Structures are given as structure tokens and as C-alpha cells.
């Protein structure tokens, strides 16, 4: 299959692995900030192909994992309002809030529906004019344009019973927050899907201001290995820059149409990242023109900020300070069938990746 088989050539992967073996005496930490990369790294056993001195660490790249407890609590609160239908992507339904989850509320009778697109949620609103349909908007720059399209369409067609509860976030502020938090990062494996929308230039400030290497990366074994080699070479040569390995999908400018509709519908705000805290200008909310579609305003939703389970270390895992193997709950109390923290709930969470592919063994 084109663009799959070509990037899973074991011989070429082995060649790159051998080239990287000469860096065994180095001490380099590379962070991926994409849940898809986290899963691919463990699925293909990438760490086992690297020299001992090259360490891969997972960052806050899973959109479900970083959605705050208060956002889940707000969604649950909405689900309890008369004549409200909650629509959501599937991963979010099992994420624990402070006292419950959407899955639990659905089992109690709340009308909560899993959808595969924002336009499917919009069709539910059109078919149920006597109901108020709330879409739970999560994800980074990859999924935010789809939410923007739905709001624009609702506005243009005067669909007045459709609302967005936004937990959309953007990637550059959290990457900068990690660097200011003094997390040991020598290079970023930059997200491929996000960058297809934004372009690679959103990362230019990282090598310019922090002297940290960046490579925008694809999701196949050769993509990952080639990107790691590019990053290591940048670190060794002390020539940090932004490079695009994933050139078949990513350009410097990105998808300008998607960027335009995001800028039309959304504005930035301070937002809370689960396990990390509030980061300035890292979230997206609807602009004043579209405030009638903002579920948080329409339903006047207010919840108390609850602390994480004190035994769960998802926050430290999302910040790259610890791995799932460091958690005393992992594979004991916490598992995919009984997730305690958000990193185990999502299919793109670090804990789920470690568990699924046996990386803890």
C-alpha cells in the first residue's frame, strides 16, 4: 500500500538503527507531543532500536488526557439538564471526572451519543429541534477546524439548538510551558497531524528562543527513525532548527483554509491542562459573534475545580517527568478496563500505550 509499505522497510530501519548506534555514549532526551506518535513508538518498538544514550519521553500530546476534570464535570452537568443531548467522540466518554464519567451518566439514562464528526452532531440537532444538542469539542489544531465548520454552518443556517462546549487547545504554548518548567528536552518530535493544519513555522520560536531541535514527524517506523536521526544530528552539531521529515503531508505554511476558519470562529484564552495546570493563551473559545453557540455561557455552567487522584501520576507523565512504569497503580489498580487516570483511558495515552504493547515488561 502506497505510503505504508514504503515506510515500513525493515532493512532501511535497521540501517538507521546502526547509524544511531554510534551515539551510545550521548545523553539525549527527545519528547514526542502527539498521542499518535506515542502509540506508534511503542507499537513498532522504536526504543529498542535506539542507542542507550537516546531517550524518548512522552509529553502532553493526547487531547483526551489533557482535558481537565472540570471540563468533564461541566459535560456531566450539561447531560443532567432537561432536553439536552450530549454528543462526543468516543474516547472521552470513559474519562473520569471528580465524581463520575459520561459513561456512568449514560448508564443512568442521560442522552449521550458517540459521533464520528461535528457535522453528525449538527445533523442530530437538525433532527431534534425540540432538544438542545451539545458537542464536546476536544483536541488540538487537528480537530478544532471541524468544530469551527460546524459552528459556521449552524450560524449560516440559523440552527439555534446546537452548542459547543470547548476544550480545544493549541500546541505551542504547552511546548513552551514545558521548556520553562525546566523539563529535560533536547529535541521535540513535533506532531504530524497538528502540523498539517498549522504548518511547521509555529515551532520556529523553539530553536530561536530556547535552542531546542524540532522535527515534524510522520507515524511509520521509517518516519520515526529518520526524525530521531535528524534530531540527534541537530543536537550533536549544535544547530537547532525546525525540519520537516513528514514532507508528504506537512508544509511550512500548512492548511491556510483550515487556519482561516479557526481564526474566524475562535479566539485564544487561558486554559487548564489536566495534570499540568493553567497555561496562558493555550485554549480556544468561541468569539463574541458566536457566543449564542457557547454551551458554557448558555447553560451558565460552573463547577468546583477538583484535584486529581493523589495516587495517579498522569500529570508527571504528561510533563515527561515520569513514565507509566513509575506509577504504583499501573497494571495493578489501573488498567484499560478500570482506568484511574486519563492517560489510561484514551487509546493515545502513554499508559494505554505502555499497557497495550507491553512496554512496562
What integer pLDDT is reported at residue 183 of this predicted model?
83
Residue matched to cell numbers 504530524: 192
Sketch the domain layout of the chain as residue ranges.
30-311, 314-356
Show pLDDT as tens, one digit a residue, over the chain (361 residues). Answer: 566 778 888 999 999 999 999 988 899 999 999 999 999 999 999 999 999 999 999 999 999 889 888 999 999 999 999 999 999 998 899 888 888 999 999 999 999 999 999 999 999 999 999 999 999 999 999 999 999 999 999 999 999 999 999 999 999 999 999 999 878 999 999 999 999 999 999 999 999 999 999 999 999 999 999 999 999 999 999 999 999 999 999 999 999 999 999 999 999 999 999 878 899 999 999 999 999 999 999 998 888 765 667 788 988 999 999 999 999 999 998 998 888 888 998 888 999 999 999 865 6
What integer pLDDT is reported at residue 158 of this predicted model?
95
Q: What is the DSSP letter of 207?
A: I
And the C-alpha cell for 338?
A: 478500570
Give pTM, 2 decimals. Answer: 0.92
Alpha-carbon gap, residue 195 to 137, rounded angstroms: 19
Whether 194 contacts 36, CB under 8 Å? no
And the C-alpha cell for 322?
A: 515520569
What integer pLDDT is reported at residue 127 of this predicted model?
97
User: What dihedral do alpha carbons 71, 72, 77, 80 form, nearest 10°?
Assistant: 150
- Burial of residue 304, with CB atoms counted within 10 A of its CB: 0-12 exposed, 13-18 middle, 19 or more buried: exposed
- Choosing among 3.40.50.11740, 3.40.50.300, 3.20.20.150, 1.10.510.10, the CATH entry for 30-311 is 3.40.50.11740
Q: Report angle CA 22, 58, 205 to the nearest 5 degrees.
A: 85
Alpha-carbon gap, residue 81 to 135, rounded angstroms: 14
Q: What is the DSSP letter of 298?
A: H
Helix (H, G, I), strand (E, B) or coil at 8: coil
Residues with Cβ within 8 Å of residue 274, at least 6 apart in sequence: 65, 66, 67, 68, 69, 308, 314, 315, 318, 342
And the C-alpha cell for 101?
A: 464519567
Whether 213 contacts 187, CB under 8 Å? yes
Amino acid at each position: 500500500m502506497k505510503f505504508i509499505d514504503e515506510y515500513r522497510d525493515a532493512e532501511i530501519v535497521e540501517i538507521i538503527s546502526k547509524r544511531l548506534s554510534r551515539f551510545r555514549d550521548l545523553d539525549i532526551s527527545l519528547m514526542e507531543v502527539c498521542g499518535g506518535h506515542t502509540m506508534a513508538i511503542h507499537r513498532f518498538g522504536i526504543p529498542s532500536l535506539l542507542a542507550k544514550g537516546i531517550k524518548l519521553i512522552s509529553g502532553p500530546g493526547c487531547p483526551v488526557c489533557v482535558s481537565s476534570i472540570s471540563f468533564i464535570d461541566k459535560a456531566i452537568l450539561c447531560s443532567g439538564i432537561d432536553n439536552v443531548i450530549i454528543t462526543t467522540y468516543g474516547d472521552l466518554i470513559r474519562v473520569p471526572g471528580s465524581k463520575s464519567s459520561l459513561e456512568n451518566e449514560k448508564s443512568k439514562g442521560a442522552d449521550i451519543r458517540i459521533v464520528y464528526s461535528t457535522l453528525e452532531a449538527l445533523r442530530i440537532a437538525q433532527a431534534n429541534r425540540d432538544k438542545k444538542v451539545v458537542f464536546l469539542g476536544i483536541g488540538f489544531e487537528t480537530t478544532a477546524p471541524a468544530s469551527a465548520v460546524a459552528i459556521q454552518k449552524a450560524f449560516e443556517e440559523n440552527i439555534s439548538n446546537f452548542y459547543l462546549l470547548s476544550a480545544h487547545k493549541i500546541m505551542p504554548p504547552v511546548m513552551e510551558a514545558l521548556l520553562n518548567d525546566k523539563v529535560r528536552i533536547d529535541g521535540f518530535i513535533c506532531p504530524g497531524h497538528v502540523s498539517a493544519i498549522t504548518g511547521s513555522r509555529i515551532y520556529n520560536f523553539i530553536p530561536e528562543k530556547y535552542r531546542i531541535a524540532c522535527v515534524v514527524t510522520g507515524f511509520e517506523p521509517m518516519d520515526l527513525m529518520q526524525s530521531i536521526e535528524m534530531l540527534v544530528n541537530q543536537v550533536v552539531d549544535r544547530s537547532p532548527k525546525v525540519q520537516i521529515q513528514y514532507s508528504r503531508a506537512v508544509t511550512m505554511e500548512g492548511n491556510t483554509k483550515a487556519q482561516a476558519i479557526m481564526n474566524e470562529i475562535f479566539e485564544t484564552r487561558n486554559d487548564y491542562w489536566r495534570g499540568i495546570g493553567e497555561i496562558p493563551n493555550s485554549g480556544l473559545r468561541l468569539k463574541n459573534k458566536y457566543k449564542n453557540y457557547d454551551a458554557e455561557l448558555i447553560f451558565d455552567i460552573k463547577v468546583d475545580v477538583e484535584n486529581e487522584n493523589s495516587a495517579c501520576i498522569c500529570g508527571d507523565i504528561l510533563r515527561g517527568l515520569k513514565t507509566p512504569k513509575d506509577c504504583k497503580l499501573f497494571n495493578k489498580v489501573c488498567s484499560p478496563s478500570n482506568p484511574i487516570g486519563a492517560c489510561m483511558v484514551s487509546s493515545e495515552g502513554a499508559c494505554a500505550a505502555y499497557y497495550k504493547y507491553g512496554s512496562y515488561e
